[in-house]
């Protein structure tokens, strides 16, 4: 049997990228998938360059050497911060690093579907396009919640609530590409919870040495809403000595602080949807993003939304990769003629 001719597009590496405020992930059709913290760092001065070399650092390496680095979080607040050259460069560096992690073959063409926070899509889609121009031959850019919905096949009468670090993005799917009216964003998300928790703990334990990175790790490990069966106890230093602190009530208050706005927005969006299909949407609410891992969040939202009628809230299986896998599904399905040249 003659070997089928492999076309150029079949040889291309198709990738899905989830460019998040806190974490960014990539999945490729060569089976590889990786994630990094969305942190980019450049050596501050010649001493730092001597120590670290003249290179850009990413993710955990940035955390490790943060005192020697100019650190950028490219998508803080869900958008490329101020649109300066450095901000855009950091996005480009991050994308380049992510692509290198899935190890494309030398000179292999790359077709990328990039999911970005909904706000970034509105504000600086063009800048994101420019940022990836050096690394991909073809590109499509979509909002993160849409990428998640596509990956899960939740294409009709479903609502995705993507609770990230910088923004909580809402998206109603109704069998077509969601329009501007079908999408909303709130800036109360993971970072907001961290700030609340830091404020509450500093107030209760003024002598304890908390900082925002430590607080974030507490939230990721112990975050919960509703009633807790166990106490949350963490270790923090007081005058250099490790002391155990009970942070149960502060954790609950901080995590619950974002939920009323989220429930209200979800209810408002559903109420504006075609009445004929509101029941279906209410029973097909999907939580994605890092904050969806806060224990009890689905139950809390289900109760809050129940005043509109019975509803069902589920959580994506793997929030870390849901956006990237959705992007990859999009990249695989997208017909060649629909790809945009860089």
Cβ–Cβ under 8 Å, residues 326 and 152: yes
Query: In the numeric block, which tokens belong to residue 151?
Result: 């990956």
Size of the site for other proteins (CB under 8 A): 35
153 interacts with other proteins by CB under 8 A: yes
To which residue do tokens 């109704």 refer? Answer: 174
175 interacts with other proteins by CB under 8 A: yes
300 membership: H or E segment, kind and range: helix 297-305
DSSP state of 334: S
Shorter beta-carbon distance to other proteins: residue 179 or 230: 179
271 interacts with other proteins by CB under 8 A: no
Considering only CA atoms, which of 341, 320, 337 is closest in space to residue 16?
320
Of 125, 205, 220, 257, the one binding other proteins by CB under 8 A: 125
CA atoms within 13 A of residue 207's CA, in its CB half-sphere: 9
Shorter beta-carbon distance to other proteins: residue 181 or 307: 181
296 interacts with other proteins by CB under 8 A: no
Residue 206: how many CB atoms within 10 A of its CB? Answer: 8
Shorter beta-carbon distance to other proteins: residue 41 or 178: 178
Q: With CB under 8 A as the contact rule, which of the stretches 22-30, 179-187, 188-196, 259-267 interacts with other proteins? A: 179-187
155 interacts with other proteins by CB under 8 A: yes
Cβ–Cβ under 8 Å, residues 117 and 134: no
130 interacts with other proteins by CB under 8 A: yes
4, 222, 270, 282 from 274: Cα distances, Å: 48, 39, 8, 12
Q: Burial, 324: exposed, middle or buried (Cβ in 10 Å; 0-12, 13-18, 19+)?
A: buried
Shorter beta-carbon distance to other proteins: residue 35 or 273: 273
308 interacts with other proteins by CB under 8 A: no
Shorter beta-carbon distance to other proteins: residue 240 or 275: 275
Could you list the residues that contact other proteins (CB under 8 A)? 96, 125-127, 129-130, 133-135, 139-142, 150, 153, 155-156, 174-177, 179-181, 272-276, 330, 333-335, 338, 340
């Amino acid at each position: 049997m003659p070997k089928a001719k492999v076309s150029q597009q079949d040889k291309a590496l198709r990738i899905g990228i989830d460019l998040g405020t806190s974490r960014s992930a990539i999945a490729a059709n060569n089976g590889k998938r990786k994630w990094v913290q969305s942190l980019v760092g450049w050596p501050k001065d010649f001493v730092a360059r001597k120590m670290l070399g003249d290179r850009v650092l990413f993710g955990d390496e940035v955390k490790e050497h943060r005192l020697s680095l100019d650190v950028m979080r490219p998508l803080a607040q869900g958008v490329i911060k101020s649109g300066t050259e450095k901000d855009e460069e950091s996005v480009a560096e991050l994308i380049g690093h992510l692509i290198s992690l899935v190890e494309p073959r030398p000179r292999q063409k790359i077709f990328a579907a990039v999911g970005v926070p909904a706000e970034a899509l509105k504000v600086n889609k063009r800048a994101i396009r420019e940022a990836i121009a050096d690394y991909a031959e073809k590109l499509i850019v979509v909002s993160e919640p849409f990428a998640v919905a596509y990956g899960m096949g939740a294409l009709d009468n479903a609502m995705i609530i993507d609770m990230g670090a910088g923004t909580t993005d809402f998206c109603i799917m109704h069998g077509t590409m969601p329009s501007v009216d079908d999408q909303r964003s709130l800036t109360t998300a993971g970072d907001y919870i961290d700030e609340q928790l830091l404020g509450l703990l500093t107030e209760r334990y003024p002598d304890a040495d908390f900082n925002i990175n430590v607080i974030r790790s507490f939230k990721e490990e112990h975050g919960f809403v509703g009633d807790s069966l166990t106490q949350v106890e963490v270790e923090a230093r007081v005058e250099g000595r490790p002391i155990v602190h009970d942070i149960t009530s502060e954790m609950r208050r901080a995590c619950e602080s974002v939920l009323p706005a989220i429930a209200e927005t979800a209810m408002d969006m559903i109420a504006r949807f075609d009445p004929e299909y509101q029941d279906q949407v209410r029973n097909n609410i999907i939580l994605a993003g890092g904050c969806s891992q806060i224990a009890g969040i689905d139950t809390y939202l289900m109760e809050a939304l129940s005043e509109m009628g019975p509803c069902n809230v589920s959580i994506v299986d793997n929030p870390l990769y849901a956006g990237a896998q959705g992007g990859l599904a999009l990249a695989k399905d997208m017909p060649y003629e629909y790809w945009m040249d860089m």
